Every structure is written in C-alpha cells, then in structure tokens.
Structure 1
Amino acid sequence: MRVASVVFASPLPQLDKEFDYFIPTDLEASIQFGSLVSVPFGKSKTTKTGYVVGIKNESEYGSELASVSSVESSLQLITPEQYELCKAIAKRQAGLVGELLSTAVPKRSVRAEKHFAYSVSKTVNPAQSSRVSRSFVLPGLLDVDQEVHWSTLFAKMAAEHISKGKGVLVVVPDFRDMEVLERAIHSSGLAEKAVRISSEDSLTQRWFAHLRATSGIPLITYGTRGAIFAPSANLGAILVWDDGDDSQIEQSSPYWNTRDVALSRSELEHCDIVFASHSPSAEVARLIEIGYLNYQETQLQTPPVRISETAERLDGETFALISRTLSENQPVLIQVANLGYASAIACLKCKEIRRCSTCQTALWIDPTKTARCRSCKQSYSAQCSCGGSSYRPISVGSKALTDQLSRSFPNATVLHSSGAERVTNIERKGILVIATPGAEPWVEEGYELVVFADSLNMVGLPRLRALENACSKWANALAKCSRTGLAIYVGITGRLADQLRSSKFMEIVREDAVERMEIGLPPASRTLNISSANKNDLSDLRERLQLELPEARLISETAINIAYTYAIATGSETAEKVVRITAELSRASKKRKPGQRVFFVNMDDNKVI
C-alpha cells in the first residue's frame, strides 16, 4: 500500500510534524495532495482529521503504520504552494505549521463543497516568466484623483496579469480598503475574475471562496491580512496596500505580518511583488535603499499645508478657519491621536502620572470615563497610591474634544469616529468630524479642511517608530482632503515642518530609517520578544539565550517577557535556536501543565521599542 503524509491544523507543538499512514487500496483514487482525511491517532486511536501533504511508496517508519480511516473531502483543500509557504513562515517566525494551516484554510462548509464540486474545471498553468519585478509604488495622494488612486493602479496591474493567464493576490488592511478595491475591480470589468477572502463573510461564503481559489483557474484573489496565505493558481503578482498598517500584523502566535509573508511567497513562487502606500514603512524604505525594491512615483497633487508652530491644540487662526469652513457648509476633519477623554492623567496631590501597577504603562480615561491601562486593559479606581482621589488630564482624548467642540459650534453637526465608534462616510456639507487615526470617514470630493491636532504629541512619543507611524496616519488622512482643501499641522517646527509643507512623506521616512539603520536598530535588525507566565522559566531562558545568542542585544526585560534585537541576516539561524531552546526548556519546566504552552515567541515585534 502507498503512504500518505498527514498534517494537522493544531497549535500543539507535539503535533507539529508530518505523520505517515497507509492508504487503503479502495481509497487511493480519492486521495490527492490537499485532501482532508480522518485517521486514528495515538495509543487511544482517537479519530483526527488532517490534510494529505505527500503521497509516497514507503515510510521511514516501516510497516508499523495505521491506515487512513476515511476521506472527508477528495478536493485539494490546500495547495503545495500554500503548504511550502506555511513551512517557511513557521520556520522564520519560530512558530508551528499547524498554527498557520488554520489561517491558510478556513473552517469547512460541507454544504458549499457539495455545490462547488460540480461547478469547477481546472486549467493548465502556463510557464512562469523568468523575470520578476519588485516595486514600491507611491500613488496619487488625493483620493479624488481616481486615475492615480492606488485601487485604480492595482486593478490595472491585476487586469494585465489576468490577461496573461496569471493569478493575482491583493492584500489590504481592512474592510474599508476592501470596499474601495472592489469598486475598482468592478469598474474595470474584472468582477467575474475575482474572488474575495474575508473573515467577515459567512462560513459558506468563505468556504466557497476558498474552493474557487483552489480550482486551478487564475483569479484576482483579494482580501484582508489572512488572504496572503490564500491559494492562487499560477500566481503572477502579489499586491499589498499599506503594509505598515497595524492591521497587517497578526496578533496571535506566530505573529507574522503581511509584508514578510508576501516577500517570502514572492521568492517561493517566483512572482512579481508590489507594495504601495501614501507613506512607506521603514522596512520598505530599507528595501528601496538596498536596491531590492524599485521606487515608482506617480504624478502627485498635494493640498496646501499650513504649519501652526504653537503648542496650543487649536490656536485662534485654526479655530477661525474651522468656523469659516463650517459656515460655508463645507466638511472639516480633525485628527486626534488618542481615543477617550484623556490619553494620560496626573494625580493632583502627588503630581505623578498615574501608571499601571503591572506594566507601568500610563493610564488613560476611556470612553466610559474609566481609568484604564492601554497595554493590559486593567481598570483602576480614581484613588492614587498616595491617597489622592483627583486627577487632571495630561492630554485630552477624542471624546473630550468632541464634547468641547459640540459646545463651541452648537449649530454644526459634530461627529466622533473611532475604531470602536466608527462612522464610515458622511455627506459633503458643514459637518465637523473628530476622528482617531484610521477611522476618518470618507466624504465625496474630500474635506475642505484637515487639522492634525496632535502632530507634536505623535512624533514626540518615546517610541522608535513614532515618526514613521505619524507619517502613515497623516498621509492616509490627508488623502481625504479635497482638491481645494487645506491641511494644518499643529506644533511642528524645523526641517520636519518644511518637509510636511510639500507632503514629502517618502523623504521623511527614508531619512528616519537610515538614521536607525546606522546604529543597528530596526529596520536594520529585528526585535525578538519572548513572554512566559512563569518567571523561573523566563530566567532559565535568558541564561540560555545569553550563552547561545551572544550577538543578540538585550533591550527590554520585565517580569513576564524579555526582548532582544538581532541582525536580519541571522534570522533563520536565530529562529532555529529559539525553537530548540524553548522546546528543551518547555519539556523541563516544572510549572507546565499538559497541553500548556510555556513560551510565546514573536520574532519581529515592532511594539517593544
């Protein structure tokens, strides 16, 4: 009998390998790479389902093998390319293949599968081109300039590849970007050639989309973060919009991000790759700097910019401009850095900034007017450790500013938009919108006035990526300005002010990235962050890493985690060592419970510094 290699979509380390099973003669015709099978597992012969990822004539384990019990689906539910990608990313991220299989293959819908099984016809993939293009595209800045809008450019690129019999994979940060892309795809007459991969769709819709993507027909496969693992026949290009957006980072193990998965997939499948954004990430700036990505800039129209050098959030002139714009029945957008009523608070008695007792993060006042830690989400009473029960806001949040401006402009419509309280679009009339970054509503023809009220605070954050992140948030909001609109940055001075007057986000981020690279900080290196619930296990880990990774630089240590920077060139070697060391220490842990994970490893944590 022939042998099937089977893998399980499981987060358990003990299942992170291929298991061999004999294929009964009567099931051979129903099994192919990617088929879903039921197999007996372990001494108890518990039935488990897994994917076939190899068929061979014999096993290194000899004749002591169990047999496949049944075939749950004879369709190819995971492609060889997907499996190779999962293995590559698991290795890079010191993670498990089983964790990634759950992302690569959505939850099954038997109903959708039965309908689909009779509607598919496979095509033969043409040979891949030997030439691969790698680019970063800076699209038109204003959303109203549709000819050079990123979605229009992506639709044109996709159409070109589809016409050559090649598939295209497009990944965007969130549902709003997906809706914009869908409009461009429909406008280009490509709707029938496109398949959407979205976690917001129903189980049946997701499974049908997955099966269509595995059908062997070159399509435009598009969606949010998880779509980067989606199957795509004869993949010709990967297009990524706004790789630096936080939504492009997976928040659970193994903490991959869209950009790095896209780069790995481009190498594995030998296809073109295009990144585009209004302001580049530092990692993309580095890839341009070293010549890995070509830089392409479209013809840009940028709105006029006014710099308010005062530290006052809304000075007299800015306030007057807001009032005048509203009186002319034109929309105004004010971007505020933080949600809630206060982004930080200080005790009136001891004058100290209130901090979380667990992680020392500054407390803020959330939309429910509760003092809360931004990092661990723990809530606190009004009473300080000094005994004081009163506080003052250090910086007013978006909700408080909305309340203030509602009183200042009683005759205007004042709206608040945030991730938790999102307004997606508004009418083009005298409406004042106060929004947190990323939650700015769309308005036809754009805002007549855009005010960046917390510019100084955003670049002044004690974070390595403060300037880079600020540029991204500013550029995306600035894109919603009208052709005749005005933008105002509050509190910015010097060279940065001069660069912002011309909206030179590429130049700003590049200079910042180069400065960081010169001293060995990201993007010249990556940040390894490992957490554990047990301090003894973490202490043992630190000792081992000090011995076996002497070139890594310790940059942060708390009771529950340790963080290091390490060179990009040693990424695979570092990940392999981390996997081996954490596995050995996990087995030796005295606090470990059955099935419990002792260490959580993030090989590229951009939030640490």
Structure 2
Amino acid sequence: MSGETGRVQVARVVVDVPLAHLDRPFDYAVPEKFADVVQAGCRVRVRFHGRLVDGVVWELGDTTEFSGTLQPLSHVPSGEPVLTPQVARLVRAVADRYAGTASDVLRLALPPRRAAAEKRPSPTPEELPEPPDPAGFARYQAGPALLTALAEGRPARAVWTALPGEDWPTRLVELCRAALSGRRGSLVVVPDGKDLDRLTAAAQRLLPADSFTVLRADDSPEKRYRRFLAASRGAAQVVLGTRAAMFAPVRELGLVVVWDDGDDLHSDDHAPYPHARDVLVQRAWLDSCAAVVAGTSRTAEAALLVESAWAHELVADRAVLRAAAPRVQALGDDFELARDPAARTARLPSLAYEAARKALAAGAPVLVQVPRRGYVPSLSCARCRAPARCAACAGPLGISPRPGPGGTRIPACRWCARPAATFDCPHCHATKLRAAVVGESRTAEELARAFPGTTVRTSGSTSGVLASVPAGPALVVATPGAEPVAEGGYGAALLLDSWALLGRADLRAGEETLRRWTNASALVRPASAGGLVIVAADAAHPVAQALVRWDPAWLAERELADRRELGFPPVTRMASLAGSPAALAEFLAAARLPGDADLLGPVPERPRPGQEGERERYLVRVPRTDGGALAHALAEVQGVRSAKKAPEHVRVQLDPLDLV
C-alpha cells in the first residue's frame, strides 16, 4: 500500500469521538474532488467504525503507515482552516498537561460552524497605530519599559499588580496597542461579561476600527463564529474575550494577558478542565511571546512565576501606592474595640455606620459588599445552631427574596422548593429558626431601615448585575464580582461578614478573600479624597493586614511559602480522581504513578446531578517536576479503560481549584 498511497494525498484527521484510546489522528485518503478544498485545519466528515462523525484535519501528507486501504473523506463542509498550526500545537500541549484528549480540547477551542458567517468577508483593518502614551504606566516601576518591549516584539513577561482606582481596561488596551504597533497580535482574557464590556469600550477608544474582535459566550452562534473567523483570517489581530477565548487563533501572537487570574470563572468546567492562566502561560512559552498576569491582588501561582524568574513584578513604589489607596480600617483593632466593645460581633458596628453616614452626607455613594446572594440563603436552629434541613429531601432551608401570599416569607427548601411552615429540630426539638447567613437582598432591607430616605441599589445574581452607578448619595449592596463602578468613585466601602469568606475550609480561602476585598476597595476614592474602607475582620488576621497595608504580594508570598511547607499546589501538582469505590480501586491498580506520588484518601464525595450510588475521591500529589509524568500515567489508564469499555467512569481532574 505504501507505493500506492505515495501518490494519494493523505489527511490526518482528529475525529470527534470522546474515547481516550482513540486520542490520535487517523489517516484518510483525500478524494480528487476535495483535493482543491481540503486544507490543514479545516473541518471534515469521515466514516469511523461505521458511523459518520465530525473531524478536523490535523495535517496533510503524502504517505501513511497504515497497511490497508485508506477510507476516503466523506464530506468537506468547508475548506476554512479554523485550526491554525499554533493552536493545534497548543491543543496537544493542553491535552497532555491535563490528562485529556485532543478532541475534548478542540470542543473548547473551536466554535460550531455557521455557513453564513464564512460567506461574509472579514473587514480589513486600518493602518497600524502609533505606540501608546506611556504616561498611564509611568506610575509603575518598569512600566514604560514593558510597553517598549512589546512594541519591539520582545517576549517580556510580568505579573502586574494594579493600583487602587486604576483604569485597568485602558491599561490593558494600551498593552495591546503597543504590541499592535509592532505588527504583533494580542489576546486578553477577563473573567466575565461585565469586565469584557469595560475592556471593549476602552478598545473602541484606543484601537483602530476592525483591528480587534470580541469573543463572548452570550453572543449568537453566528456572531461568535464570525468574530472567530476575523481572528483566524488575520483580519483582527487583537482578541478580547472571556474564558473560551484562551484558544483564539491570533495571528503573529505577541502578547497574552489574563486579568484577575484568581477568579474561579477562569477554570473551565468541561473536560479536561483547563485554567485560562495556565493555558496562556503555555501559549507564551510555545509561541515565545510576551505574557502579563494582572489583577488588583496576586495568587500563589502568580507569586511562583515571579519567584522562578519566569516573570518580573510590575508594581508601583509605596509612595505612589499611598497616594492612590483609600484608608483601610479593620473593625477588630484594639482602638476600635476599646471604643465600641460590640465591634467584634455586630454586623454593622458604629464605625461602619459612621463611615457610611459621612460618605452619604458628602454626596458620595457607599459600597456594601456581602458574600452571599439572596435574602436569607441559610437558616439554622435558633437554640442549637444546627443547619436547618428539609424534612422531605434533607436540603438546606432558606428564605427567598420574593414574598409569598400576603407579603409573608416562609422558609422553603433550596433543593426541592417545598415550604417549611413548621420546623422541628432533629437535634434539640426546638421549633424556631434563625438566619445563619444573610444575603444581599436582606442586607439592603436592613440598610434601608438604618438610613431612611437613602437610595438603596442591589447588584447580584438575584437582582441583576449593575455595570455602573451614578454619582450621588446612595447605598450599593453587591455580592463579590458584581460591584458596579461608581462615577467618581465610592466615598466608602463596607466589607461585611468576613467570617463567611475567611472561615471556609478551602486552600484558597485567604487569597480569594483578599482578591474580593481588593477588587471592591479599588473602586473607592483615595484617602486624600476621603475614601475609607471598613472591613469587618480581626485586624490581626494576615488577610486583613494585607488589605490594611495594601500589600497583596506579601500575602501571596506567605501563601506560597505555607503551601511549599505543606506540599500543596502550585509547588506540587495534584490530581483528583472521583468515582465509585470499585471503579477507583480498578483505576489505581492499573495506574503506573510516579515513584514519589502521594495518594491521599479516599474521602466521600457527594454525587453530582445524574449520578447515583456511593462515590469517593482520591487526591494524587507529586512534585511539580513530575506533573507531566502524572498526567501521562492517568491518561494511559483512561485509554486502557476506554478500550476495555469499562462500565463506570472515573472523573480525572488535574490542578483542581477545590481540594476539599
């Protein structure tokens, strides 16, 4: 067959089949009728094990190692090369890093095809812009040097800690403009649509028309595919987007940026569960381009990039920081406790009340951050404080923000929605309930009573997310991530219920709490303009100290040191294995784990939707240098079980955010 196939064009196709043992390209003959259409990276339809399936041409060749007769391509929907060679290399690297398959990653990387979008020509961008004004980055040490490096096409890498009150969308677009002035493309990934809207508005001001495109999950399929094509065809050299844009086919890629990398929205919840920060760092290495990991705070992963010298810090000196930051005061400091003994336990102590009153009197809005959404999302027994559970399904009881008939609010199950008109505690048989957690809706009611006549706005999942609020006296109650931008900045911010954040049994509880606090506090006016942040936390707590001193780098370095001592990520790599006890025992018996792998568990795992029966979870820990070997071993077992048609699936996730 080798002599015959030497005269036939061969397409190596990755088929869209979710089986681990089929994670490789398969050779197909290119019929003469498709010879002028097929390109590397285009979509095709092929017959695979008797079924017609979708696939992507990984590459074209003239020979094959297959000894039999090659099947021909069945159909070529389009010759559009949607998978560039650079993205194909990234897809393989991500699949190998996360013990996944190329077909799984391709589902995340390529949007569904829309024929109408392919027929529309992509607009030609205007001339290249001039480099941006370096004044915006002049407040940061080495900031102008970073812009110069981008304009010259050098692979500069930085971990940028933005100043309070920074117009970060404008700064990120300036980075893109610097790269674009040197004929290099850029890719910026932000956590959510609210951030993307601000970034898009800045791009419209600073970048030439048609030089950028925006990829967002809530666009129509046709619009999203059309914008994707603008990038893959090279018409738009700057791509802005949320998590799915991390695989965008940017031509001549010169810069990748991730904003607020600690946000869990950057972690994809589809196999193989990649994280946008890690994917972009991988792209920077594969494509030898610049990379910026940015935010108002800093993660332990970003601290490791700095410690390893892969990236340099981009920070302002302390004098500039003091001029930009609001004054931060913790409720639990000794002076406040001496003046107000109830400050440690009251939800809105006198200091917070006075700060809000003064800001409102000065005509400024006040931000109130509440960790929980809803009205009263969690109830407990008034006597023994045990969590209140539904008598029918054992789900948690809560109170909805929507009143029932007659304006009453009756507790109901948050799982099955059954009302709980009566309650009998199974532990102490008490019949009264109390609020275990207060959400943003109930907080807004309490503040409306405390500040009569003041406008109260809410921003969160139950009430909708506000993008911005006007200047003027108002109370804005928001959940983390939903804080709107205030015109002229907030006069004060109250960070309530810190126990709900700091008390979580989570490896990332400290850095996540500081990230949420700094994101909210960065919206407050500087101290010179009267800006004040009140945080309801013990002033001696390291996270509170980091906020008071506005030093997220210090906390990130401390977190990294603690995790190194305890053997936790990112110093090590961990894999989560979840499934039935029998399936896990079979999986681990077949796994050829690295010699120094540490097996932790099993622990019970609550079944996910659609799952039944007992489930357990193991954690496998290895040194960071053995992360590739661990991923290979797990992928190997998945392939063997797939080939044997194992009846039970084991969920494999590397570097999970949640280790509890």
- Structure 2: how far apart are the matches of 1:536 and 1:363? 34
Residue in structure 2 matched with residue 308 of structure 1 by the alignment: 331
Where does 1:136-147 land on structure 2 (aligned, <5 Å)?
Answer: 136-143=159-166
Where does 1:476-555 land on structure 2 (aligned, <5 Å)?
Answer: 476-483=519-526, 484=529, 485-494=531-540, 496=542, 497-532=544-579, 534-544=580-590, 551-554=597-600
Q: Indicate whether 1:112 and 2:117 are aligned.
A: yes
Q: 1:244 Cα shift?
A: 1.0
Query: Deviation string for 1:339-394 (max 9, x for gaps)?
Result: 23345433246542347999999776565676667xxx676764554465543223
Alpha carbons 2:20, 2:642 under 8 Å: kept: no
Where does 1:144-293 land on structure 2 (aligned, <5 Å)?
Answer: 149-217=167-235, 219-293=237-311
Q: 1:28 to 1:586 in 2, by over 3 A?
A: closer
Q: Partner of 1:463: helix, strand, or coil?
A: coil
Q: 1:329 to 1:153 in 2, by over 3 A?
A: closer
Q: Partner of 1:84: helix, strand, or coil?
A: helix
Query: Deviation string for 1:189-243 (max 9, x for gaps)?
Result: 3332111111122222111111111113561111111111010111111111111
Q: 1:270 to 1:38 in 2, by over 3 A?
A: same
Q: Partner of 1:206: helix, strand, or coil?
A: helix
Q: 1:185 Cα shift?
A: 1.5
Q: 1:70 to 1:234 in 2, by over 3 A?
A: same
Q: Between Structure 1 and Structure 2, which shows a larger proportion of strand residues?
A: 1
Q: Partner of 1:39: helix, strand, or coil?
A: strand
User: Percent identity between the aligned chains?
Assistant: 29
- Structure 1: how far apart are the matches of 2:269 and 2:117? 29
Residue in structure 1 matched with residue 440 of structure 2 by the alignment: 398
Q: Partner letter of residue 598 of structure 2?
A: A
Q: Partner of 1:49: helix, strand, or coil?
A: strand
Alpha carbons 1:528, 1:605 under 8 Å: kept: yes
Q: 1:42 Cα shift?
A: 1.9
- Structure 2: how far apart are the matches of 1:182 and 1:407? 39
- Structure 2: how far apart are the matches of 1:494 and 1:119? 57
Residue in structure 2 matched with residue 566 of structure 1 by the alignment: 622
- Number of residue pairs matched? 588
Alpha carbons 1:339, 1:366 under 8 Å: kept: no
Residue in structure 2 matched with residue 146 of structure 1 by the alignment: none
Query: Deviation string for 1:571-607 (max 9, x for gaps)?
Result: 1111111122234345557644xxxxx1221101111
Where does 1:350-365 land on structure 2 (aligned, <5 Å)?
Answer: 351-354=385-388
TM-score (norm 1): 0.89
Q: 1:117 to 1:401 in 2, by over 3 A?
A: closer
Q: Partner of 1:29: helix, strand, or coil?
A: coil
Of 102, 108, 113, the match for 1:103:
108
Q: 1:437 Cα shift?
A: 0.5
Residue in structure 1 matched with residue 459 of structure 2 by the alignment: 417
Q: 1:163 to 1:547 in 2, by over 3 A?
A: closer
Of 89, 92, 101, the match for 1:87:
92
Q: 1:561 Cα shift?
A: 3.4
Q: 1:327 to 1:176 in 2, by over 3 A?
A: same
Q: 1:16 Cα shift?
A: 3.1
Alpha carbons 1:137, 1:276 under 8 Å: kept: yes
Alpha carbons 1:526, 1:566 under 8 Å: kept: yes
- Structure 2: how far apart are the matches of 1:119 and 1:288? 39
Q: Partner of 1:602: helix, strand, or coil?
A: strand
Q: 1:167 Cα shift?
A: 0.9
Alpha carbons 1:36, 1:49 under 8 Å: kept: yes
Q: 1:589 to 1:55 in 2, by over 3 A?
A: closer
Q: 1:576 to 1:362 in 2, by over 3 A?
A: farther
Q: 1:555 to 1:447 in 2, by over 3 A?
A: farther
Q: Partner letter of residue 541 of structure 1?
A: F
Q: Partner letter of residue 468 of structure 2?
A: N
Q: Partner letter of residue 536 of structure 1?
A: A
- Structure 2: how far apart are the matches of 1:541 and 1:356? 37
Q: Partner letter of residue 408 of structure 1?
A: A
Unaligned runs of 5+ in 2: 1-7, 127-150, 333-342, 403-409, 605-613
TM-score (norm 2): 0.82
Q: 1:69 Cα shift?
A: 2.4
Q: Partner letter of residue 637 of structure 2?
A: I
Residue in structure 2 matched with residue 36 of structure 1 by the alignment: 43
Alpha carbons 1:178, 1:224 under 8 Å: kept: yes
Q: Partner of 2:210: helix, strand, or coil?
A: helix
Q: 1:320 Cα shift?
A: 2.6
Q: 1:31 Cα shift?
A: 1.2
Alpha carbons 1:243, 1:281 under 8 Å: kept: yes
Q: 1:204 to 1:388 in 2, by over 3 A?
A: same
Q: 1:477 to 1:381 in 2, by over 3 A?
A: same
Q: 1:491 Cα shift?
A: 2.3
Q: 1:535 Cα shift?
A: 3.4
Q: 1:547 Cα shift?
A: 7.3
